[in-house]
Amino acid sequence: MEVRIVVAGEDERGRAVVVSDERVESQPMSWSSANTSIDILSTDETPVVPNDGARPAHSSTRPGFNWPPRGGVRFKIVETIVDDDHPWDDGSAQFHTTDTIDVNIVLEGEMVLVLDDGVVVELQAGDCIVQNGARHAWQIKRSGTPLRVINLMIGAAREAR
């Protein structure tokens, strides 16, 4: 997978300029050759604007999911291939929580959101899910189509209950 990333910023006189315009190839994620991602924007701190458009520093350059700290952002396109050469798993979902607000938009393929109370939500191309730090799990449906998802994670504060 390849995408074009155009970044705008401001020059020293405060004028809007194109800082970069490049095509970026996806990178394998650390846990599986069937998963790749393109890092569009990652930062560990609350962004400040205007800025010069330089790529912000963040805590990990490891391809895959590294959750942002409070105020940080991760914005990626993720692709997962599920076929006989790349089985996802045994069908079981791994429940987890993160201190993030996650926005996922399914571009292609199908996935399933599983919640604590047994609720199962099937998602397909065009669907969007906002996940607010609740305990959840993901499953990939074997649909014959790669799963492509836009993923935005915003680092949040978790309140004690």
- Note the pLDDT of residue 16: 93
Write the class of the CATH domain 29-155: mainly beta
Q: What is the pLDDT of residue 143?
A: 77
How many Å apart are CA 131 and CA 144, to the nearest integer? 26
Amino acid at 3: V
Q: Residue 78: is its pLDDT beyond 50? A: yes
| pLDDT tens track for 108-147 | 999 999 998 889 999 999 999 999 999 999 888 877 888 9
Whether residue 19 is predicted with pLDDT greater than 70 in this model: the reply is yes
Res 56 pLDDT > 60: yes
Name which of 94, 139, 135 is nearest 115 in CA terms.
135
Torsion (CA) 131, 133, 65, 140 in degrees, nearest 10: -50
By mean pLDDT, which of 5-9, 43-47, 141-145 is the weakest? Answer: 141-145
Q: Which residues pair with 108 in a beta bridge?
A: 148
Q: Which residue has the higher pLDDT, 90 or 5?
A: 5
Query: Does residue 88 surpass a pLDDT of 80?
Result: no
The widest CA-to-CA distance across the chain, in whole angstroms, is: 57
How far apart CA 133 and CA 104 sit, in angstroms, is: 13
Q: What pTM did the predictor assign?
A: 0.85
Which span out of 63-72, 76-85, 122-131 was modeled with the highest average pLDDT? 122-131
